[in-house]
Structure 1
Amino acid sequence: MPLRALIFDVDGTLADTERDAHRVAFNRAFAAAGLPFSWDVPTYGHYLKVTGGKERLRAYLNAHPHLPQLSDADIVAIHRQKTDHYVEMINAGLLPLRPGVARLLDAAQAHGLLLAIATTTTPANVEALLRSTLGVEAAQRFHTIGAGDIVPRKKPAPDIYAYVLREMGLPATECLAIEDSANGLQSAQGAGLATIVTQTEYTAGQDFSAALRVLDHLGEVAAPAHVLQGNGSGEEVVVDIPGLHRWWEETQHT
């Protein structure tokens, strides 16, 4: 069986959006709603363990009962405002793609691989990021974009990856996932996908023992990535399609 598709997570994987975009957008929405709190960098990092922005805010409020407790409708409204703030920031071109992402997307298409996205972030966030970094037609490069509330359970449940696989009409054994977090890794593996992890500042130190490889990023010719876990640990690499084929083939003999 050949490797036929790459499935990318978005936040933390395509771009390092969490600390300086999503967190800031949440704080702007909190301030606009008159809420007496904001999320600093460590606090937001802690609550990133909860996937989904609405779910993240609910978890924070549950852990802080002295704060104003919001209804589900209030949380939906605040999250909608947060998305608007985030899209404004992305449209302003404030966040680049992570090293190697654009290069690998181009290479995958040149080699005839299908591309897909599996994320818990909203479709509006995905579209804004793709448009601002890859151009107005960027979304059309992806066969399937699975995003937001399109499935009932968010990561670490495998639902979003199972949805993407169904839409692509491919078995998990012919696809490779690229993630940045333990929740994402668990989600992809729950759907049967071999997974590459490119960790971030927020996800460093999480349990990636089940990943095919863990790297600091995908690498550029002038700035190679480092293999942090997996075969070849300690090596410098520029992740390319032949290399991904070699790594993926390791899964075919286990």
Structure 2
Amino acid sequence: MSNATTTLQAIIFDVDGTLADTEEFHRQAFNEAFAEHGINWHWSPEEYTELLTTSGGRERIRAYAEAHLLPRPDNVTLRELALKLHTHKSAIYRDKLVNGHIGLRPGVLRLLQEARQAGLHIALATSSSTFNVETLLLHALDRPLRDYFETVVTSDTVVDKKPSPAVYQFTLAELGLAPDECIVIEDTASGNRAARAAGLKTVITTHRFTRHHDFSGASLVLDQLGAPDDAFEVQAGNSHGASYVDLRLLDALLTGTMDPLADSWPDEPIVMAK
């Protein structure tokens, strides 16, 4: 895509909940790992919605244990327990990806294809592990998706988890681009805050676990990326008549022809149409 017609040079995607609706697989894997280790923890969908405000599986386990003062096996530190549980949980999650053959969220493949055809850079920036990401990219469709992404930055590359901007700052450095040349697709409040702290504009695609998050500062909040025959639902922001996310809309958001959300979020929760 030529600089003569647009400033958009790259799209940076989050992974879990953004590329694919993986969060329910993660929730189930956590609960199975707890049960197999004889720990009487069970994260309901409602609890997991709150837990997703903490990025990183090990961090989520530690935060939950600390908040609830839950017992743990003797002579095992909380850090050791979290690592052990998360390692087992990740193996269960990857098995679910392989056996469940999860698909991409609506509009993702279309946008990837449009971006690659236009010559844009495409990157992933996630708090997930490289192994989990590679497994998802291998099994999300009938053919591997890895070749779409020029840059993949994971928790194995950048230790600080979202909402730290580190993963996005590192991704920008890898791409050799400035924040005003890129736009981010995210799904959580922590991801939105991380990207915004790195100076990046964001488009949010929510799901059952994040639709009530605070997305202050995002340029647009939607239920999905949409398609020509499957319009997105605008939850906040102004799509200026667009019904699906394409490169023209992303460039318009990036160049400021569409107003970003105000710094305050609506008092009433956003309810998606059924």
Pick from 136, 144, 163 the counterpart of residue 129 of structure 1: 136
CA displacement at 1:7 relative to structure 2: 0.2
1:175-190 matches, within 5 Å, as 175-190=182-197
Q: Tell me the equivalent position of 1:203.
A: 210
Q: TM-score, normalised on structure 1?
A: 0.93
Aligned length: 252
**Any conservation in 2 of the 1:83–1:124 contact (CA below 8 Å)?**
no
Describe the superposition over 1:54-77 as per-residue Cα deviations: whole angstroms up to 9, x where unpaired. 000000110121432652223212
- Over 3 Å counting, the alpha-carbon distance change for 1:38 and 1:253 in structure 2 is closer
Residue 31 of structure 1 and its aligned partner are, at CA, apart by 1.4
Code of the residue aligned with 1:84 in structure 2: it is A
Q: Gapped runs of 5+ residues in structure 2?
A: 261-274
Give 1:247's match in structure 2, choosing from 245, 249, 253.
Answer: 253
Contiguous gaps of at least 5 residues in structure 1: none
2:204–2:220 Cα contact (<8 Å) kept: yes
* CA RMSD of superposed structures (Å): 2.0
Query: What is the CA-CA distance between 1:173 and the residue it aligns to?
Result: 1.1
Give me the whole-angstrom Cα distance separating, in 1, the residues matched to 2:161 and 2:257.
Answer: 26
Secondary structure in 2 matching 1:105: helix
Picking from 224, 238, 241, the partner of 2:244 is: 238
> TM-score with structure 2 length normalisation?
0.86
Residue among 62, 84, 88 paired with 2:91: 84
Structure 1 residue 143: deviation in Å?
1.1
Equivalent position of 2:41 in the other structure: 37
**TM superposition shift of 1:205:** 2.2
Moved more, 70-79 or 52-61: 70-79
Measured at CA, do residues 223 and 28 of structure 1 come closer, stay the same or move farther in structure 2, by a change above 3 Å? Answer: same
Per-residue CA distance 1:17-40 (angstroms, 9 max, x = gap): 11x200001111111111122211
Question: Residues 1-254 of structure 1 correspond to what in structure 2 (within 5 A)?
Answer: 2-18=7-23, 20-68=24-72, 71=77, 72-134=79-141, 137-232=144-239, 237-250=243-256
Q: State the distance in 2 between where 1:134 and 1:94 align.
A: 7
Q: Distance in 1 between matches of 2:36 and 2:14?
A: 30
Q: Percent identity?
A: 40
CA distance in 2: counterparts of 1:134 and 1:39, whole angstroms: 28
| In 2: Cα distance, 1:152 partner to 1:122 partner | 10
Cα distance, 1:136 vs. partner? 5.3
SS at match of 2:39: coil
